[in-house]
Amino acid sequence: MRQNYLSVCLLLLLVLSSCIREESANVEAAIDACTGSNIQLGEVKSDHSVILYVQKGTNLAKLNVHFQLAEGATIQPQQKLAQDSVNTYDFSHSRVFNVMAEDGKHVAQYTVSAIQTELPSEFHFETLVSSLSIPYDEFYEFNPARNEFMKWCSGNQGFKLTAMAKSRTDYPTMQDDKGLSGKCVKLVTRDTGSFGKMVNMYLAAGNLFTGSFDLTNALTNAVKATKFGFPFLRIPLRLRGYYKYRAGDIFTQKGKEVAGLRDKCDIYAMFYHADSNEDMLDGTNATTSPKIILLARMKPQDIVESDNWTVFDLPFEAVNNTTIDKSELAAGHYKLGIVFSSSVDGGNFNGAVGSTLYIDEVQLVCKE
C-alpha cells in the first residue's frame, strides 16, 4: 500500500518535472559588490550609488575596479573616457554606469565615485564588514570626521579553502567580545586538517595586517599571498597598543613535533618606499627588504605570556640608511604595513596550534 502511494507521488513528480519549461534569461540588473587592487571598500548603496574608498595617494585616473554583477548582467560606463581600459576606469570625477540584465530589457543606472581616505592612526577593532556571503570576520576602521578609512586584511579567505571552519569562530582571525575597551581582535593558530597536510601547509597562524591577500598565491606560495602596506603620508614614530598572548602546547615544524620549543607571537610595522602603486612587500621580505626605511618590531624576549592585557610600545627605527623625501611622502610613494600574527614563523607553517593573541586599542604615533 505504502509502495503504491510512493509510486503515485513519484509519477506525479515525474509528470510535473517533464513540464519544466526552457529557462528564460535573468532579469536582474544590479551591482552586488565592487573590489579592486587599491580599493579598501566598495560600498554599494540601495539608492544606486557606489562609493569606492581608496587610500590617499592612489592614482584615481587609473583605478582598477571589478564590478560583481547579477548573473548574466553586463556593465558599461555611460561615457567612455580616454584613460579607461579593461576593468580600469578614470575616477577623477564620479561616473555613471549602466548595468543591463541578461534579458536585455532591464537596465539600472549607478553613480560611482571614488573617495580618497587616509589611514587611521587609531585602531579599535569594533566594526565588521556586514556581508552574508563572507563566512568569517572582516574588520574595518572608519573615522568619517577625519576622513580616515581602512579595511584590515587576514588570511581567513585562504583558511576557508581548508573547509575546517564550521563557524566564524573556527577561523584563525576573528572578533572577540572581551576587549580592553569594547571588542578586540583574536588571532588563533589553527590546524589546517588533512587538506592542509596534503599541500604541506600544516597550520594557519591567525593574522591581521594592512594590505591585501592574494588568493591565487594562497596554495602555491602562501608567504607571497600576504601583501603588506597602504600609501601613508606621515612619518610614523611609534606603534602602541595592548596584547594578551598564550602559546599553544605543542610546537611543530613542518608538521612534526619539536620538543623544547615555545611559540611566539609577532607584532611589527614597516614603512617603505614603493616603486609604484602596485608595489607591495609580502611575507618573504616584509622585514628584510632594502626598500624598508623604518621598522618597528616586538623583540621575542619582550613577549609576555599572560591572561591580562599588556602594553606594547614599539619605536620605528631607521634601517637601510635611507632618508625620507618630503615630496615623495606627499605624493603617496611611501607605504605603511602593520602586521599581527599568533605565530611568528606561521608563514613557514611552524608554530603551535592553539597559540592565541589578542590585540586591542592600537595607536600609531606620527610626526606632526
The residues of the shown chain that bind other proteins, judged by CB under 8 A, are 8-9, 12-13, 16-17, 19-24, 26-30, 32, 44, 46, 48, 70, 99, 101, 106-108, 132-133
| Pairing mode, strands 49-55 and 107-117 | parallel
Residue whose C-alpha cell is 600609501? 231
Beta carbon nearer to other proteins, 90 or 102 = 102
Beta carbon nearer to other proteins, 101 or 265 = 101
Beta carbon nearer to other proteins, 29 or 201 = 29
Among 78, 84, 85, CA closest to 100: 78
Please tell me the distance from the alpha carbon of residue 113 to that of residue 285, in angstroms, as a whole number. 34
Given a contact cutoff of 8 angstroms between Cβ atoms, the answer to whether 358 and 243 are in contact is: yes
Beta carbon nearer to other proteins, 8 or 163 = 8
Give SS3 for 233: coil
What minimum distance in Å lies between the beta carbon of 157 and other proteins? 16
Please tell me the distance from the alpha carbon of residue 190 to that of residue 206, in angstroms, as a whole number. 7
What minimum distance in Å lies between the beta carbon of 28 and other proteins? 5
Residue type, 132: L
What minimum distance in Å lies between the beta carbon of 15 and other proteins? 10
Beta carbon nearer to other proteins, 4 or 220 = 4
Give 45's Cβ-side CA count (13 Å radius): 10
Give 79's Cβ-side CA count (13 Å radius): 10
What minimum distance in Å lies between the beta carbon of 19 and other proteins? 5
What minimum distance in Å lies between the beta carbon of 10 and other proteins? 9
Give SS3 for 223: helix
Residue whose C-alpha cell is 614599539? 314
What minimum distance in Å lies between the beta carbon of 175 and other proteins? 20
Please tell me the distance from the alpha carbon of residue 207 to that of residue 359, in angstroms, as a whole number. 11
Beta carbon nearer to other proteins, 49 or 284 = 49
